[in-house]
Amino acid sequence: MAKYKRILLKLSGESLMGDTNFGIDPKRIAQYAQDVKSIIDKGVEVAIVIGGGNIFRGLQADQTGIDRVQGDYMGMLATVINGMALQDAIEKVGIKTRLLSAIKMEQICEPYIRRRAVRHLEKGRVVIFGAGTGNPYFTTDTAASLRAIEIEADVILKGTRVDGVYTADPEKDTSATRYETISFTEVYNNNLNVMDMTAFTLCDENKLPIIVFDMNKEGNLTKVINGENVGTLVS
């Protein structure tokens, strides 16, 4: 039996690059689609928020001279492109999906309406939230926290390229150790990088747990759903 009934999966745009330097790796997105199918088959209701960093992120705007607000909107459009790619991959494995956008684009996705999103989930469709919150200066981490709270998800699953939260950056410090569980307060006090502060505070105030795990290892998503000791639980 699955431990969670309704989850929100947060993916970074960079994760879609796989071993490439830009864009979308077909093998990586196909693996994600299979992993999502495996938990849908268990009866789990799945919503997804994906970033756009593999195409464009708003913070790049400062480096190119583009206005920050304009750059953030460009980043939102990048998340819709990724959402469309993920939608296509998931539907190819036989799962119905709906792409909902915080910015109206009627030709390619539905506008975000909370009740409609919940209804899609209840019908067993994967709901992909695009365009962040629809507002500049907010990250897709914040969008993930906000949407998870709105749809009353049981947990946020943050799929990354590392297998949890560490005492330090494991790619820079070989002595870093992984937490199996950690409290929101400990994350604050130790200044650990789980999500941006706005997103993290939203989860803390609404008592929404976060599991940080390695999404790139096939089968990990199913293990998390089954309640196995994968990644780090922040609660």
Distance CA 187, CA 71 (A): 30
Q: Which residues pair with 9 in a beta bridge?
A: 48, 157
pLDDT (average), residues 129-137: 97
Model confidence at 1: pLDDT above 80:
no
* Domains recognised in the chain with CATH numbers: 6-234 (3.40.1160.10)
Write out pLDDT tens, residues 178-228: 999 999 999 999 989 889 999 999 999 999 999 999 999 999 999 999 999
Do residues 88 and 16 make contact, with C-beta atoms less than 8 angstroms apart? no
Model confidence at 57: pLDDT above 90:
no
Residue 20's pLDDT is 83
- Which residue would you say has higher pLDDT here, 2 or 95? 95
Percent of the chain with pLDDT over 90: 82
Residue 188's pLDDT is 93
C-alpha distances out from residue 225 to 9, 35, 36, 201, 228, Å: 11, 11, 11, 24, 8
Q: Please give the mean pLDDT across all residues of the chain.
A: 94
**Burial of residue 13, with CB atoms counted within 10 A of its CB: 0-12 exposed, 13-18 middle, 19 or more buried:** buried
Q: What is the pTM of this model?
A: 0.95
C-alpha distances out from residue 184 to 33, 144, 148, 230, Å: 30, 17, 17, 18
The sign of the CA dihedral 1, 207, 185, 212 is positive
- Which residue would you say has higher pLDDT here, 53 or 151? 151
